[in-house]
Amino acid sequence: MNTSIWQEIIRQIQAGTSEKSHPFRYATLATVGLETLPRLRTVVLREFDPQTLRITFYTDTRSKKMLHIKENNRVSLLLFHHENQLQIRIEGLAIRERSPELLQERWSHLHAASRLDYTSVLSPGTEIASPEKVDYMKEEGNLFFGMVHIAPFKIEYLKLSRPKNTRVRFSKRGSGWTSDYLVP
């Protein structure tokens, strides 16, 4: 396995979850529900476990992405670092966090302004007359706060550089990973 590229992937994803200005902080998540139309949206990477490669983001449990994940939990993430000309594509299984204790613990660390994102009266994507028409629930607590973990099974690395670009596919095999060079 190409360990130097593997270690770079780990470092970059880890930086995305720990450094607010890192380009990998925001990832494009793709889901496909029963309608079989790919849906893309930006998510904020919140946690990364370098041992298991599990990536976590937060979401409103009423969002369309949660329905798509319930219908088909195979998802993709796209990360792009413009300055380094580095793209990482991740395919994996999305798993909804069910532990009330863990959800409450993460909720307690969110800033008050961020908590509003999970307490709107209407669910995300509901049509409204104007942005001022968003109402929030008065109850305390993590009403619609959710966490999703992605367990990767394929990771592709693409480094754009001259004279040659480098592309490597990492595939999970049992408890380990293998790598193959690909034509960029």
- pLDDT for 52-99, tens place per residue? 999 999 999 999 999 999 999 999 999 999 999 999 999 999 999 999
- Portion of the chain with pLDDT greater than 90, in percent: 82
> What is the pTM (predicted TM-score) of this model?
0.92
In this prediction, residue 29 carries a pLDDT of 98
Look at residue 4 and tell me whether its pLDDT is greater than 90. yes
Which range, of 21-25, 93-97, 138-142, 175-179, averages the lowest pLDDT? Answer: 138-142
Instruction: Kindly state which CATH superfamily the domain 3-104+146-182 is placed in.
Output: Electron Transport, Fmn-binding Protein; Chain A (2.30.110.10)
- Portion of the chain with pLDDT greater than 70, in percent: 99
Nearest to 68 by CA among 49, 92, 94: 94
Look at residue 125 and tell me whether its pLDDT is greater than 80. yes
In this prediction, residue 136 carries a pLDDT of 87
User: Average pLDDT in the 145-173 region?
Assistant: 96
- Alpha-carbon distance of 96 to 80, in angstroms, equals 25
User: Average pLDDT in the 159-183 region?
Assistant: 95
- Alpha-carbon distance of 35 to 184, in angstroms, equals 31
In this prediction, residue 64 carries a pLDDT of 94
- Using DSSP, how many helices (H) and how many strands (E) does the chain show? 4, 8
